[in-house]
């Protein structure tokens, strides 16, 4: 027992710093969510108000689309890119480096550049599509209610799939050659190799990366905020941006805290379900 308590003493400084930097803000957010701006206890009033806001359900649905759409394509594209980059071909090192570029570009720079490229009047994307006559007139990518969220998701996919690719590539490279040789002796085609050798071997990597992607998508602000600020008419408003706007534009810290608390709970549940399902699946696979 003596030894154990000495151990606790040694980790105390780290725990104190963690407490100050993590536990205190979390607890303070909780406190903010049940008080008014004078610090008086108001129960669930902040929760009721923010849930009653017209934007809240919209933002929630948008968040679901945003997370789901981003993750699916990021993972699929990322894995395909990793398999491609794992092949032997001339100039592979260059292609590998170039693939990483979207991920390395700072989010705000990428977002602003995309906003300009997508502009209806002077954006290069509409110019390239209209000049050779592919489409008859410019598309309002960011002003059309049905294209703006998909466009945001596409930018997010472009930004993050290289990360998936590089992580999966690292996993692929750790697969021993024996497995491929064994598969080839059994007469496996390339796609069978992918399906029966590569994917099962990198499964833990994909699981971990997907979890990270889910968390990042749930926390996301930069791209959407820099391009549309959640507009037009809340078409691209996702919950983290709503929290940001409520707190720092409307200066309603208490309602923003209430929304954060609820969002935190939802995020925890999502992550929990995800880990549980994948952990049990992995058990069956063995």
Partner 1 sequence: MTKLFKTMALLGCTVSGLALSAGWASAGEVTWWTPNFNEARARELVTKFEAANPGITINLEITTTDGLPQRILTALQSGAAPDVIDVQHGWVNGYAQNNLVLPLDEVLTGREDYIPAALDYVTWEDKLWAIPYRIETHAIIYNKADFVAAGLDPANPPQTWEEFAAAAKAMTKDGKSGFAITGGGEVGNTIFRSLPFIWMAGGGIISEDGTEVLVNSPETVKAVTYYTDFFKNGISPSSTLENDGTANRRLFIAETVSMYQSGQFDVNSIRQENPNIDIGVMTIPHPEGADTAAILGGWSLVVPTDAKNPEEAKTFIGFLGEAENQAVLTDTFPARVSAMEAERFQDPILNVFKEMLPFGRPVPVHPNWVQITQAYFDGIQRILLGDEDVQTAMDGAAEEIEALL
Could you list the residues that contact partner 1 (CB under 8 A)?
9-10, 12-13, 16, 49, 52-55, 115, 119-122, 138, 140, 142-143, 145, 228-229, 231-235, 245, 248-252
For residues 110 and 142, which CB has a smaller minimum distance to partner 1 in the complex?
Answer: 142
Residue 231 Cβ vs partner 1, minimum distance, rounded to whole Å:
6
Least Å distance between CB 279 and partner 1?
38
* Least separation in angstroms between CB 89 and partner 1: 41
What number of CA atoms fall less than 13 Å from residue 94's CA on the CB side? 3
Structure tokens at 63: 């968040």
Strand partners, 35: 41
What is the closest distance, in whole angstroms, from the C-beta atom of residue 168 to partner 1 in the complex?
36
SS3 assignment, position 35: strand
Distance (Å, whole) CA 160 – CA 49: 35
* Residue 125 or 179 with smaller CB distance to partner 1: 125
Residue number, 164 or 237, with CB nearest to partner 1: 237
Instruction: Report in angstroms how near the CB of residue 124 gets to partner 1 at its nearest.
Output: 14
90 φ, ψ (degrees, to nearest 5): -70, 135
- Alpha helices (H) in 174-252, listed in sequence order: 177-185, 190-193, 199-218, 222-227, 239-244
Of 9 and 134, nearer to partner 1 (C-beta) is 9
Q: In this complex, which beta carbon is closest to partner 1, that of residue 21 or of residue 185?
A: 21
3-state secondary structure of 270: helix
By beta-carbon proximity to partner 1, the closer residue of 121 and 284 is 121
- Phi-psi category of residue 205: left, alpha or beta, with phi > 0 → left and psi -120 to 50 → alpha: alpha
**Nearest alpha-carbon partner for 256 in 49, 58, 64, 99:** 49
Beta bridge partners of 237: none
Considering the complex, state which of residue 85 and residue 257 has its C-beta at the smaller distance from partner 1. Answer: 257
User: Burial, 3: exposed, middle or buried (Cβ in 10 Å; 0-12, 13-18, 19+)?
Assistant: exposed
Least separation in angstroms between CB 111 and partner 1: 13
Q: How far is the CB of 217 from partner 1 (least distance, A)?
A: 23
Residue 113 or 280: the one with the smaller Cβ distance to partner 1 is 113
Tokens representing residue 78 in the block: 């990322």
Q: Least separation, in Å, of the C-beta of 142 and partner 1?
A: 5
Q: How far apart are CA 46 and CA 246, in angstroms?
A: 12
Nearest partner of 256 among 265, 270, 245, 272, judged by Cα: 245
Q: Is 169 in contact with 201 (CB distance < 8 Å)? A: no
């Amino acid at each position: 027992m003596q030894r154990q308590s000495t151990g606790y003493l040694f980790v105390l400084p780290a725990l104190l710093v963690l407490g100050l930097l993590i536990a205190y803000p979390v607890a303070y957010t909780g406190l903010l969510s049940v008080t008014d701006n004078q610090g008086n206890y108001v129960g669930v009033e902040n929760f009721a108000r923010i849930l009653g806001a017209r934007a809240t359900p919209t933002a929630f649905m948008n968040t679901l689309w945003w997370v789901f759409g981003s993750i699916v394509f990021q993972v699929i594209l990322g894995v395909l890119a990793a398999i491609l980059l794992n092949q032997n071909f001339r100039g592979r090192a260059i292609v590998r480096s170039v693939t990483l570029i979207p991920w390395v570009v700072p989010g705000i720079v990428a977002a602003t550049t995309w906003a300009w490229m997508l502009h209806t009047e002077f954006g290069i994307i509409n110019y390239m599509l209209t000049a050779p006559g592919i489409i008859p007139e410019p598309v309002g990518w960011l002003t059309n209610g049905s294209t703006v969220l998909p466009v945001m998701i596409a930018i997010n996919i472009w930004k993050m799939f290289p990360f998936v690719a590089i992580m999966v590539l690292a996993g692929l490279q750790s697969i021993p050659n024996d497995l491929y040789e064994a598969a080839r002796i059994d007469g496996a085609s390339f796609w069978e190799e992918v399906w029966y050798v590569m994917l099962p071997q990198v499964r833990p990597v994909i699981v971990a990366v997907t979890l990270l992607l889910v968390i990042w998508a749930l926390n996301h602000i930069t791209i959407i905020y820099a391009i549309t600020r959640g507009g037009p008419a809340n078409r691209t408003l996702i919950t983290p941006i709503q929290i940001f706007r409520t707190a720092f534009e409307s200066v309603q810290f208490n309602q923003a805290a209430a929304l954060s608390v609820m969002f935190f709970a939802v995020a925890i549940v999502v992550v929990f379900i995800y880990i549980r399902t994948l952990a049990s699946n992995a058990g069956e696979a063995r």
